[in-house]
């Protein structure tokens, strides 16, 4: 008989198809599990699949007395209380690096779309304003990529791929992360110093308590009037209210965002702005990336049910 | 007294400011010169500044009996009848390579915006459809950049910069051009062979009679249903009607276009399509690129009025 796996977050059915071939899936559709399944069924649950950003604390874990494995779909696990899991002997797995190229690519897409104002450009052509020779105030020339200073915040797998791509655009690349690596990019010892130096801040840091709202009004002010922010990490890293204010009063020039503080809700003040490019958390949303992430999930679940350690365990767990 | 320069095409005044410091500009605003200036003034004109894509044939040249220099703003000179100029002893200058990085960057911007469907993504967030958990048929996962086969048509300065950028995205790069170069990319002896192999065709070839409509229905069909076309060269290289048909009936997946056959007019059939990203010929439209192009224009005009050869002459002229 197939082992049971609780689908704790809301995932499209198509993404679950490969798992359904191997396991019996109890899909909550993102609703509270107790509303969807009877208690006796949940009491037997040993493994669950979740989105790493969905809140999953001690109280939630205690609803499943036999829970032994929390497997996150994707790289992030910031919603999971790692200490609470460890103290309950619950293994936590994820998909490290599986979506790194895909996420780095959406970072580049958002940076280029924002700095080259592609939404405005497209609308200028489609509306007929170009054909009518109407002036567009946003079409004035802007700085290009060669020589542009791009600051990468976080130098994990995604940060490295962003840095390598930016270097190919003939830009200068600097970075700040807790650790200084042997990499051909200028290292800055603080986020403040990086923000003073760069004009585009690419946020690729792992989300968590210590990075909550670290990109605040002060950091945005340091980027300056020609500055841009691109966030493909988690919405929690930016103080979203401060960002809206900085974009509205032109403290910075623009932003490209794939993530938001309260997904899937992007605040009205943000969606009304012309100098942002917004995406619905599609960083890891490519075919290659989904296959790679699913491979990690399958490997983690299979190992767990065979009584082995998770091959893609969260390191700090 | 400052030498007179006829501004033959329509340029924004801000782009002409540096030239106005050195020369007396007779600005036609893109209108026929004879409608704007008296004949005696035009009869004395020795140099003109034009957009390389604007038609400028033998008949037009003969309206200016003393014309000795045609200086194009930018790299292209496809609108200028080079043979007619040569037979009249008129030097033709341009700005080779000055905008190569900027144009390569808009090619990358259009490729990423199109393949990652950034217009649809942005609209999905702004409309509130994401917050309402509405399905979006265009948000299904697509192929990513790693391993994607990108075909570069034309291997001049812009083509090389596009190829180098694509390589940094972990994509496979192939190319077709008249000449095979010592480059780390796969060479294809024909455009057909390149189109059979690649899924994204990046058009970076110099426009002219021999490249007119070479990207036709047959080439588009070879790209296939997952194929994309990006054009940052000239609209004339693509058979625009065939492109609209291929996009409409899903022969190919999408297109990113910075150039059109009859600028500034993009056909209604094209602007109505959801699977294209359109830009109003802004490839070279960055501050760095404008400064570099203006430097070439100033050097060409200064040399000409000093009786010297143009430092940035069109080679075949």
For domain B100-278, which architecture applies?
Answer: 3-Layer(aba) Sandwich (3.40)
Q: Label residues B160-193 b or e (16+ Cβ within 10 Å = b).
A: bbbbbbbebbbbbbbbbbeeeeebebeebeebee
CA B160, B144, A144, B168 dihedral sign is negative
pLDDT at res. A317: 43
Question: What are the two backbone dihedrals, phi and then psi, of residue A132, each rounded to the nearest 5 degrees?
Answer: -85, 5
Whose tokens are 């969905």? That residue is: A54
**DSSP tag of A59:** H
Mean pLDDT of B188-206: 98
Q: Which of B107, B116, B164, B274 to mutate to test the interface with A (most CBs of A within 10 A)?
A: B116
Q: Is the pLDDT of residue B79 over 50?
A: yes
Confidence at A316, pLDDT banded by 50, 70, 90:
low
What is chain B's mean pLDDT, rounded? 95
A126 touches chain B (CB under 8 A): yes
Residue ranges, CATH 3.40.50.720, chain A: 4-98+287-305, 100-278
Q: Do B124 and A164 touch (CB under 8 A)?
A: no
Residue ranges, CATH 3.40.50.720, chain B: 4-96+287-305, 100-278
Secondary structure of residue B191 in the 3-state scheme = helix
pLDDT at res. A87: 96
Query: What Cα–Cα distance (Å) separates residue A47 from each residue in A16, A24, A32?
Result: 15, 11, 16
Percentage of residues in chain B having pLDDT higher than 70: 99
A13 touches chain B (CB under 8 A): no
Burial category of A183 from C-beta neighbours within 10 Å (exposed 0-12, middle 13-18, buried 19 and up): middle
CATH number assigned to the domain with residue range B4-96+287-305, chosen from the 4 options 2.40.50.1020, 3.40.50.720, 3.30.70.260, 3.30.70.870? 3.40.50.720
Q: Is B240 a catalytic residue?
A: no
Within 8 A of A112 by CB-CB distance, chain B residues are: 105, 108-109, 112-113
pLDDT at res. A13: 85
B238 touches chain A (CB under 8 A): no
C-alpha B147, offset from chain centre: 27
Q: Is the pLDDT of residue B316 over 70?
A: no
Q: What is the pLDDT of residues B29-40, one digit of tens each?
A: 999 999 999 999
Cis, bond preceding B303 (omega within 30 deg of 0): no
Q: What is the pLDDT of residues B126-140, one digit of tens each?
A: 999 999 989 887 778
pLDDT at res. B113: 98
Catalytic pick from B263, B265, B285, B290?
B263
For domain A4-98+287-305, which architecture applies?
Answer: 3-Layer(aba) Sandwich (3.40)
**B 166-205 residues with CB below 8 A of A?**
167-170
Mean pLDDT of B20-25: 96
Query: What Cα–Cα distance (Å) separates residue B193 from each residue in B96, B201, B234, B255?
Result: 29, 12, 22, 20
Mean pLDDT of B74-100: 94
Mean pLDDT of A151-166: 97
Q: Distance between CA atoms of B231 and B107, rounded to whole angstroms?
A: 7
Q: What is the pLDDT of residues B89-109, one digit of tens each?
A: 999 999 998 999 999 999 999
- Structure-token pair, residue A301: 């679940």
Burial category of B93 from C-beta neighbours within 10 Å (exposed 0-12, middle 13-18, buried 19 and up): buried
Confidence at B12, pLDDT banded by 50, 70, 90:
confident
Q: Distance between CA atoms of B233 and B82, rounded to whole angstroms?
A: 19
Cis, bond preceding B154 (omega within 30 deg of 0): no
Mean pLDDT of B153-173: 97
Contact A188, A175 (CB under 8 A): yes
CA B160, B162, B163, B169 dihedral sign is positive
Q: Which residue of chain A comes nearest to B148, CA vs CA?
A: A288
């Amino acid at each position: 008989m197939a082992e049971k796996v609780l689908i704790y977050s809301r995932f499209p059915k198509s993404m679950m198809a490969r798992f359904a071939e191997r396991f019996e899936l109890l899909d909550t559709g993102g609703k509270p599990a107790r509303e969807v399944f009877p208690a006796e069924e949940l009491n037997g649950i040993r493994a669950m699949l979740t989105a790493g950003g969905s809140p999953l604390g001690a109280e939630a874990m205690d609803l499943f007395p036999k829970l032994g494995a929390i497997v996150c779909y994707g790289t992030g696990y910031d919603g999971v209380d790692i200490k609470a899991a460890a103290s309950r002997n619950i293994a936590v797995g994820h998909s490290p690096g599986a979506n790194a190229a895909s996420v780095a690519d959406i970072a580049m897409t958002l940076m280029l779309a924002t700095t080259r104002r592609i939404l405005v450009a497209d609308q200028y052509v489609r509306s007929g304003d170009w054909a009518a020779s109407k002036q567009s105030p946003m079409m004035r020339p802007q700085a290009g990529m060669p020589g542009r200073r791009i600051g990468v915040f976080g130098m994990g797998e995604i940060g490295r791929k962003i840095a390598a791509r930016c270097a190919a655009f003939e830009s200068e690349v600097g970075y700040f992360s807790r650790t200084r690596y042997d990499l051909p990019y200028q290292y800055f010892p603080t986020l403040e110093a990086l923000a003073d130096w760069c004009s585009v801040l690419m946020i690729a840091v792992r989300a968590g308590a210590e990075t909550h709202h670290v990109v605040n009004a002060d950091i945005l002010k340091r980027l300056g009037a020609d500055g841009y922010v691109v966030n493909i990490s988690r919405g929690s890293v930016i103080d979203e209210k401060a960002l809206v204010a900085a974009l509205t009063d032109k403290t910075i020039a623009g932003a490209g965002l794939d993530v938001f503080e309260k997904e899937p809700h992007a605040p009205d003040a943000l969606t009304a702005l012309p100098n942002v490019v917004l995406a619905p958390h599609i960083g890891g949303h490519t075919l290659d990336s989904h296959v790679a992430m699913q491979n990690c999930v399958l490997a983690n679940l299979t190992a767990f049910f065979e009584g082995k350690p998770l091959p893609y365990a969260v390191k700090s767990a």
